[in-house]
Amino acid sequence: ALFATYFGVIPEMYPNPLDRGRAGVFVGIFNALSGITVVVVVQFVFVKSSVNLTGVVLLNVLPMLLLSWPGIKETRAIKFIQSHKKIECKEVLAFMTQRSSFTYVMSTFFHFIANTLNILFLVFWLTRVTGVCIEEAAQLLGAAGVAQLFCGIVGLPFFRWILVTKKIHPRKIVCLGYALLGVAGFIGVQTKTKMVVVPLGALRGLVFSVNSLSNRMFVGWLTDEDMVRRYNVDGKVVRREAFIQGIVGWSVTGAYLVGGLMTLILGATGYNGTLPTRCIPSASVDFIHFAFGTLPAIVCIGRAVALWFWPLYGKKLREMEESTLKIKEFTGAEVIQTEVI
Query: Which of 74-77's residues contact partners 24+ apart within 8 Å by CB, and which partners?
Result: 74/13, 75/5, 75/9, 75/13
Higher-scoring residue by pLDDT: 116, 50: 116
Residue 278 burial by Cβ neighbours in a 10 Å radius (0-12, 13-18, 19+):
exposed
Is the sign of the CA dihedral 223, 224, 229, 231 positive or negative? positive
pLDDT at 61: 57
Higher-scoring residue by pLDDT: 80, 158: 158
pLDDT digits over 111-124, tens only? 999 988 988 888 89
As a whole number, the mean pLDDT across the chain is 78
pLDDT at 114: 92
Higher-scoring residue by pLDDT: 212, 105: 105
CA separation for the pair 215, 143 (Å, rounded): 27
pLDDT surpasses 90 at 53: no
pLDDT digits over 67-101, tens only? 656 655 655 555 544 444 556 677 778 788 888 99
pLDDT surpasses 70 at 144: yes
pLDDT at 55: 56
pLDDT at 146: 83
pLDDT digits over 277-332, tens only? 888 999 999 999 999 999 999 999 999 999 998 898 888 888 888 888 888 776 65
Average pLDDT over residues 240-256: 81
pLDDT digits over 188-226, tens only? 999 999 999 999 999 998 998 888 888 878 888 888 888
pLDDT surpasses 50 at 240: yes
Strands (E), the chain: 82-83, 238-239, 337-339
pLDDT at 226: 87
pLDDT digits over 3-24, tens only? 444 555 555 556 565 565 556 5
